[in-house]
Amino acid sequence: MYHTDGKENTCTLQGYLIGAGPSEQILDRSVRKIINGIAFASKIISREVGRISLSDLLGEAGGTNVQGETVQKLDIYSEKIICDAIEKTSSVCCMVSEESEDILSFKDVAKKGDYVLLFDPLDGSSNIDVNISTGTIFSIQKRVTPQGTGTIEDCLQPGSSQVAAGYVLYGASTMLILTLGRGVVGFTLDTSIGEFILSHPRITLGEYPGRAYSVNEGNYPHWSESQKCFIRTLKGLEGGEVYCGTSRYVGSLVADFHRTLFKGGIFAYPADSKNPNGKLRLLYEASPVAMICEQAGGKASTGEGSILDVVPTDLHCRTPVYVGSSSLVDLADSFLSS
């Protein structure tokens, strides 16, 4: 927000998207509609997250999802709110949701669009009942099949071909972080007017000024020797530099990555003996986070190569994740790829 001639001059998300085309081009109208649809849905999700202990949406829905994770009522609610908002855009040919095993598509042929939306409706929802930040993560890909309902071919694309990626963080404030492939911007929800306002016109990831590493060290016994040695090196326990003198871990990807994006450092979810391919899902967690990280000047690796180059094998395939300041991710690669 900035002031000129005594008047408030705010840029809303809609205003930004209208002017956000690459050079002289206008951003594809369908992409704008999808992002606005996600933003609308996230305002509703934010409202429900903010009053969760007062509503009957708190608690488990019963059963587990395709990931084998306990489903929260708010997971299902969030997925429905997003699907309803996106159906109205008539801009997607299909969707992939963390909460649904199969591809989601709309019955009405008119609803078939040129894009695919891949999303985690409420990441970190197991933290909902203890009032810890959660988030919605999204990735937008251009379809590769010519027309009609989207197929698995439209969904299984590498992160490098994403048209846009972002997340909404339901934290102390609700923020929408977005990349269209030309840098990273941040919007803060002004609840007094119900608008996402441009609050961070250019987000860049520093060379670990924050010097925090973020990993679930409870998994240490299940890590490879290379991974163990990498974390010990970060802490200076191998006799060299103390790369990271601080550890921070929320257990909610959006929150842990958001802190890393703003303060530098490294977030990692390594492979281990329980999760040989890592825990985080490629299509709607690792790929969008990787695009944002690299667009902000950081690096995103599997430990053996760029996350954005990984070709998905199925809708819910997983990958190890190392994202953050380039020099720390390079250090991780030097251990993990050997």
**Binding mask of the shown chain, residues 105 to 144, with x at each position contacting ligand P6P by CB under 6 A:** ------------------xx-x------------------
Sole window of 19-27, 162-170, 248-256, 295-303 interacting with ligand P6P (rule: CB under 6 A):
248-256
Rounded-to-integer distance, Cα 329 and Cα 65, Å: 31
Q: Is 252 in the site for ligand P6P (CB under 6 A)?
A: yes
Rounded-to-integer distance, Cα 10 and Cα 198, Å: 7
Q: Is 270 in the site for ligand P6P (CB under 6 A)?
A: no
Amino acid at 143: R
Q: Is 48 in the site for ligand P6P (CB under 6 A)?
A: no
Residue 183 or 251: the one with the smaller Cβ distance to ligand P6P is 251
Sole window of 151-159, 168-176, 245-253, 327-335 interacting with ligand P6P (rule: CB under 6 A):
245-253
Residue 34 or 253: the one with the smaller Cβ distance to ligand P6P is 253
Q: What is the dihedral of CA 272, 287, 206, 336, to 10 degrees?
A: 30
Alpha carbon separation from 315 to 98, 116, 121, 254 (Å, rounded): 9, 12, 15, 20
From the list 158, 183, 206, 251, which residue makes contact with ligand P6P (rule: CB under 6 A)?
251
Q: In what order do the strands lie in the sheet with 212-214?
A: 246-247, 212-214, 266-269, 321-324, 299-301
Sole window of 84-92, 227-235, 246-254, 298-306 interacting with ligand P6P (rule: CB under 6 A):
246-254
To the nearest whole angstrom, how small is the minimum distance from the Cβ of residue 259 to ligand P6P?
A: 12
Residue 87 or 256: the one with the smaller Cβ distance to ligand P6P is 256
Helix (H) or strand (E) holding 232: helix 225-234
Rounded-to-integer distance, Cα 142 and Cα 199, Å: 28
What are the structure tokens assigned to 184, written together?
């990273």
Half-sphere exposure of 64 (CA within 13 A, CB side): 5
- DSSP conformation class of 277: T
Rounded-to-integer distance, Cα 290 and Cα 294, Å: 6
Binding site for ligand P6P (CB under 6 A): 123-124, 126, 216, 251-253, 256, 269, 279
